[in-house]
Structure 1
Amino acid sequence: MKGLKRTAVMVVLRCESQFLLLKRANEPNRGLYVPVGGKVEPYEDPYQTGLREVAEETGIRLQKLRYMGSLVETSPVEYNWWCSIYMADIPWQEAPPCDEGKLEWIDFSALETLATPATDWHIYQYMAREQPFAMRAIFDENLKMIFMEEEIEGKILI
């Protein structure tokens, strides 16, 4: 049914102050840097999805994820997501190949000016503080973000 939220997971892989991010080759967010992740499949919970997606996209087999928060994105077009966001601290390693784009280590200090989805810089700030969050973002028909709120604090971000 049109407009229903699709359920997804993002996993931020971190080594000290660096994040292993994917420069996406495909839509949505082609050409932008995003955490690894993907859609929750039938009979799978978000935690299982995170472990599976990290293994599929990076070859890294994680034993544990840490839940950080949620992001709900709403638009009047087909871009509508409910996303669980996790973090995993991993040892530094060469960025592995990925068939969905190019994985790169990015220092936290570069994230604010990096080409990322409009929501992500706000999320990274909460994650850096290890502060739980519940974000909601509203987009117009051109997928320009017109509103963003962190609901736990009731803080308007955009």
Structure 2
Amino acid sequence: MKELSTLCYIEKDGKYLMLHRTVKGNDVNRDKWIGVGGHFEKNESPEECLLREVKEETGYTLTSWQYRGIVTFVYGEDTIEYMFLFTADGFEGTQISCDEGELEWVEKAAIYDLNLWEGDKIFLRLLEENHPFFSLKLVYDTDDVLQYAALDGKRLWL
């Protein structure tokens, strides 16, 4: 099964808006902290999906964003997800409650203290280092353990 999604790290005052996924029972991200985003709807571009998902999950309308990379997730034998990764530093509107968990502004320096996916730590560092547009492949086993990572086609040693 192939899936398409977006993920965005909204920045303000040295913080990222993080979503602590606590609501959905059967959620691969349950109890993890992630950015905001979600799956494409029919005929959406990555930017259209980004803007819709951010608005639905946060109440914010993005006014400034940057496409930073594509992340290929492989889970077990049957699932591949292509995630379009963005950062945003401009938005307007009033924050709302998210039906997928709690939204919280977290100091960038404290992000790594949260319950993150191992692969998310890799792309968060790439964002932090202002790495140019990248392609990152992350392979997880069915126990959610990162088995393999490759940046721009070159294996990273974990």
TM-score normalised by the shorter chain: which range applies? 0.7 to 0.9
Partner of 1:41: 41
Partner of 1:12: 9
Contact 1:22/1:101 (<8 A) preserved: yes
RMSD: 2.1
- Unmatched segments (≥5 aa) in structure 1: none
Q: CA deviation at 1:136?
A: 0.3
SS at match of 1:42: coil
- Distance in 2 (CA, whole Å) between partners of 1:60 and 1:91 is 6
The sequence identity of aligned pairs, in percent, is: 24
TM-score, with length taken from structure 1: 0.88
- Distance in 2 (CA, whole Å) between partners of 1:42 and 1:65 is 22
Matched, 1:22 2:19: yes
Q: CA deviation at 1:14?
A: 0.6
Matched residue pairs, number? 154
Alignment-mate amino acid for residue 151 of structure 1:
D
Contact 2:65/2:90 (<8 A) preserved: no
Structure-to-structure mapping, 1:22-101, within 5 angstroms: 22-25=19-22, 26=24, 27-77=27-77, 79-90=79-90, 96-101=96-101
Q: CA deviation at 1:112?
A: 1.7
Name whichever structure is richer in strand by fraction.
2
Q: CA deviation at 1:91?
A: 6.7
- Distance in 1 (CA, whole Å) between partners of 2:19 and 2:70 is 19
Q: Which portions of structure 1, spanning 4 or more consecutive aligned residues, are displaced by more than 6 angstroms?
A: 91-94
Alignment-mate amino acid for residue 66 of structure 1:
Q
SS at match of 1:98: coil
